Each structure stands twice: as C-alpha cells, then as structure tokens.
Copies of this chain bind each other. A is one copy, B any other.
Amino acid sequence: MNHATKAYAATSPDSGLGPYAFDRRDLRADDVAIEIDYCGVCHTDIHFVENDWGMTQYPVVPGHEVIGRVTAVGPDVKGFQEGDTVGVGCMVDSCRSCSACESGLEQYCLEGMTLTYNGQDRHDGSITFGGYSTRIVVSDRFVVRVPDALDPAKAAPLLCAGITTYSPLRHHGVGPGHKVGVIGMGGLGHMGVKFAKALGAEVTIFTRSEAKVREAQKQGADHVIVSTDEAQMEAAADTFDFMLDTVPVQHDLNPYLNCLKYDGTHILVGLLEPIEPPLDAGGLVFKRRVLAGSLIGGMPETQEVLDFCAEHNITCDVEMLDIRNVNEAYERMKKGDVKYRFVIDTATLR
C-alpha cells in the first residue's frame, strides 16, 4: 500500500484502519455538520499524503476544497440551516482574537490557523480530517455559503485554488488598465487568468512550451508569452504591473522581474522553497519593484470570491474523479496532466 492508497484507505469503510473519517465530533454550539458532495484535489494533498514536509500524522484524510449540504447546526449558529449548500476551505479554526483574526485574515492568525486536515483541534487536541470523506463538522465562522448560481462541483476548487489567486489580485488592487502576467497554467494559474480578466486587467500567460499557447488562449488570456524564448521575454521588459506566479517548484524569477515596470509587483502564491537561482536584488532596487507572498485568503474574502464567481459566471475547469482512482489521479497531477483540477464525487465513497 503506497501513501496515496493510505490516504484513500483512511476514508474507505473497508480500509480496516478504523472509522477515522466517519467518527466526527458531536456538534458544539457553533458547529455546522455537513454532508459532503464534492472535494477538490489540491497538490498540497499529495505533499501531505506522501509526507514531503515531514509533518504528516497518519492516517491522514486530505481535502480542503469541500462542498456539501448542511445536515445540522449547533444551537448558537445563526447563519446556516439544514439544506444550505456550503463550503469549507483550507482552515477550520484560528484563535479568533489576534489582530489578524480581528481583521478577517484568519490565515495569518498569530497563533496559527487550524488546518482543515492534519491540523490539531483547539478544543480537544484531536487531529483534523479533511474532505475526502462523507461528512465534516466545522465551526460556522469557517463555513461559507455557496451561491445558487454556482455549480457546486466546479465551485469546490474555488476554496483553495480560487481564493489563493483571487486574494492577492484584490489585495494589490488589480483592475482596469493593469497588465497582469500569470506564470504557470495549472489549477491556480487558470483561475488567476479568469480573475484578472474579470477584474478588468489585460492578461498574459507565460508558458514554457510553445505547445501550450493554444490552450493558454482558450483560457481567455489576451496574450501568451513563451518564457523559454529570450526574444519574447526581452520584448516584454518593463511592461507589466503585476506577475501572479503560481509555479510551486524552484524557478528563475529574474526574467519575470525584468518584465515588470517600475513599481511593479511579483506575487508568489505557489513557491515555498528557497529562491534559486538567487533573486537579483538590483532587479528590485533599480525599479522599486516588489516581491510579495500571499497565502489563501481570510474567511470574509473566501465568501467574497464565491459571490464574485457567481456574479461573473466563473468556475474552475474540473475533471470529476471516482475516489477509487485517486492514486492514478495523483500520478497524473504530478505530470501536470489535468485540466485543471480533479474533484472527487463523494457519491463514489458511499
């Protein structure tokens, strides 16, 4: 049994690993019980399942792009009722009283947010289990409403891939008149294109391969630049206001920095490793450019992105997944072979 199987097994009634995913806690006063319908598969799930970051606590039940229906609520819950279609993203709790939490930026909670899976519950110390499951119980502050206009299956990835790209574009004020480059065309990148377009910007996809140009155009980009073509990159020097960099592996940032105007901003949302080849400080100093990071989004903004998508008719491009094929899906994701997000149909788990 490989790690991915282990992840799946933990969610399966015949896994022999016990009832981890099904034995959810009794409702606390502010809890919402959710019957899960769909769960997006994020690359982060693979990292946890395979313990790439050395912090996985097995058995792990991944999944932080969760869509379902409310089946019960605790006595203090005001905003949700049975039957509501709702979502749960990357976090299920935070301290709720620090400056970040009070600003609705729970992802930057000074005490650390509680992750939706492989996190530690703040009340009973138990390890949290995620959305590759049939049920989940979450405090109402960390539950969002899914607008009727959204297809629930295609809305699932908005809870991580969506908010991760929407939040920095909003935070940095992207809008009409701006030229935005999107680097990487996976689950995050293709959402970034949709959001930047909807916000009124002129959008260019940077792709390493000539073969992907057509697909990039299909995603609605105004322009495509093949980043391995030095002439194209040189022609783009000093022309962009923003770069949204969704690439999750080490890559040379300097050619992209060079494409930014003075005061331009390069936003990292995928990379968590040391920046190599090394970042050229002169590329920042000589043009007052900025390199910024961004992590998912807070709960008010997670609700906002769903509402924004409903209003602008935006969803994620998804491929529906039978949970029994999750291991093959992981292998395909490692090769970038999915357009653009797998979403588990939870019916296949029942």
Using CB atoms and an 8 Å cutoff, list the residues of chain A in contact with chain B.
Answer: 100, 105, 108, 110, 171, 238, 262-263, 268-269, 271-295
Contact = CB atoms under 8 A, between A and B. Distances in A.
Contact of A273 (B110, B275, B282, B287): B282
A92 to B, nearest CB: 18
A291 B284 contact: yes
B278 A278 contact: yes
A295 B288 CA distance: 7
Contact of A287 (B108, B262, B286): B108
A279 B271 contact: no
Contacts of A285: 268-269, 271-272, 293-295
Contacts of A291: 284, 290-292
Nearest to A254: B274
A261 B129 CA distance: 29
B281 A292 contact: no
A69 to B, nearest CB: 33
Given A100-B262, A105-B262, A286 B295 contact: yes
Contacts of A277: 274
A238 B273 contact: no
Contact of A292 (B271, B286, B290): B290
Contact of A268 (B238, B275, B278, B281): B281
A272 B100 CA distance: 33
Contacts of A274: 277-281
A287 B282 contact: no
Contacts of A283: 293
B268 A284 contact: yes
Nearest to A112: B286
A195 to B, nearest CB: 17
Contacts of A268: 281, 284-285
Given A272-B282, A287-B293, 6 more contacts: A108-B262, A275-B280, A278-B278, A284-B292, A287-B295, A288-B294
